[in-house]
Amino acid sequence: MNSMVTFKSSYLQQVIEMAEKKNSNEPEFMQAMKEVLCSLEPLIIKNEEEYKRNSLIERLIEPERIITFRVPWLDDKGQVQVNRGYRVQFNGSIGPYKGGLRFHPSVNQSIMKFLAFEQIFKNALTGLPIGGGKGGSDFDPKGKSDMEIMKFCQSFMNELQKHIGQDVDVPAGDIGVGAREIGYLFGQFRKIRNTYEAGVLTGKGIEYGGSLARKEATGYGLMYFMREMLKANNISISGKKIIISGSGNVAIYACEKAQQMGANVIAMSDSSGCIFDENGINLSVIKDLKEVKRARIKEYLNYVPSAKYFENISEIPSVYNIEADIVLPCATQNDITLKTAKLLVEQGVIAVGEGANMPCTNEAVEYFIENKVLIAPGKAANAGGVATSALEMSQNSIRDFWTFEEVDRKLEMIMVNIFKQCQNADEKYNLGINYVAGANIAAFEKISKAMIAQGII
């Protein structure tokens, strides 16, 4: 996952060697950083003197602030449980730190830093004034009662509230954090602060400051980006076979928009296995299982007996064994390794859309590009969620509430514009259809200017 990279630029080489030493126990962060630095090299070489004098790259890869804290809470048996909370405030040069909260047992500092680092670039691409941050906890929401979830969220907010604010840092959801959790977090923030600061969190319920279309935004945005990318390469989405890994927020609304665009989504998954429904996934069954019942995807078979279920048994998640034209990894990081990428290429995949953050390893991305598979990189393709969060913040600031169509139209325009930025950078730097590098370069052009303008801080 983390092979050594060597740079032509001696400055970059020096930076990466220093970073390897400092972050040797953070593989996901190193992976995300290397991917970005590799694609920025042509641009860095051009401005090497200035960046070196400013230590720009050293500052770019060092978070402005990391907060870790104890989260004690009482479970239903009366036992005190203790988890670890995080907030990484990585870069605030473009706006208040902005990024989701992840509740999952795998959460650690490396994962928090990789997510916050990528968020800087993603948020820059949206064109909206938001900096990069991320947070979460190693708390496992699976199997917890509603009361336990509430108690955990309240304890988490008791500490987090010291570090956030509508102009300071604005968290939202991510894996394991949806509307229910945001509601409990917002309630506790309001109680402690005694103020109705709606813009302090996004992904709120529409009854109390949330935005229409935020729930749908990441998945819809992914498909708007995919449509633009395919269009630029003279391919239409209609009639294409699609497989989606994951069945959470991003996966569900990617599926919904894909179906609206006339594609045939034939498989979805969770961390246990996947369902294969040749006739096309019945999304209302998935929504009921995942959004209401919080059940396993296997139960789809109770409603659609003609479908098949394949458990994950090897290092390749079962969903990727199903042949499709378009693959949408919408679950978690490093879901698609080189081995899986090879299988997908063999099966004739034409495009991969990263709904999740860093779902493909760097080696998998390289392999796809070498084999002319179009890749919609997560930093660009899943930016619709955070962009719509910023639209939620705007509505909160002006105390307004926009219609679904209004927000969806803005989201679509933002995604079209993000694709254009990737395409323009790809052309400007002669990358030969590499939107991954295109996204990194386009974002860095903006971030580097903002950082340099604000001096050495």
Binding site for ligand 2IT (CB under 6 A): 98-100, 122, 172, 174, 202, 357, 385-386, 389
Q: Are 340 and 314 in contact (CB under 8 A)?
A: no
Instruction: Choose, by CB under 6 A, the member of 87, 98, 104, 227 that binds ligand NDP.
Output: 104
The catalytic position among 52, 122, 134, 204 is 134
Binder of residue 246, out of ligand 2IT, ligand NDP, none (CB less than 5 to 8 A by kind): ligand NDP
CB of 427 to ligand NDP, least distance (A): 26
- Rounded alpha-carbon distances, angstroms, from residue 275 to 115, 308, 309: 28, 6, 5
Half-sphere exposure of residue 254, counting CA atoms within 13 Å on the CB side? 37
Closest CB to ligand NDP belongs to which residue?
Answer: 248
- Rounded alpha-carbon distances, angstroms, from residue 216 to 72, 254, 266, 332, 354: 33, 8, 20, 18, 16
Binder of residue 99, out of ligand NDP, ligand 2IT, none (CB less than 5 to 8 A by kind): ligand 2IT
Give the span between the Cα atoms of 290 and 178, in whole angstroms. 12
CB of 214 to ligand 2IT, least distance (A): 8
b/e per residue 14-52 (b: at least 16 CB within 10 A): ebbeebeeebeebebbbbbbbbbbbbbbebbeeeeeebb
Instruction: Choose, by CB under 6 A, the member of 71, 175, 229, 244 that binds ligand NDP.
Output: 175
Q: Could you say whether residue 286 binds ligand NDP (CB under 6 A)?
A: no
Task: Check the CA dihedral 321-310-274-116 and report its sign.
Answer: negative
Q: Could you say whether residue 134 binds ligand NDP (CB under 6 A)?
A: no
Sketch the per residue contact string, 225 through 264, with ligand NDP: x for CB under 6 A, - otherwise: ---------------------xxxxxx-------------
Question: Which helix (H) or strand (E) is 266 found in, with range?
Answer: strand 264-269
Taking the C-alpha atoms of 177, 30, 126 and 324 in order, what is their torsion angle to the nearest 10 degrees? -70
Binder of residue 202, out of ligand NDP, ligand 2IT, none (CB less than 5 to 8 A by kind): ligand 2IT
Nearer to ligand 2IT among residue 96 and residue 325 (C-beta): 96
Is 134 a residue of the active site?
Answer: yes
CB of 312 to ligand NDP, least distance (A): 9
Count of CB atoms situated within 10 Å of the CB of 299: 15
CB of 136 to ligand NDP, least distance (A): 10
Which amino acid makes up residue 370?
Answer: E
Q: Which of residues 334-363 bind ligand NDP (CB under 6 A)?
A: 355-357
Give catalytic residues, as residue numbers: 134
Site residues, ligand NDP (CB under 6 A): 104, 173-176, 218, 246-251, 270-272, 330-332, 355-357, 382, 385
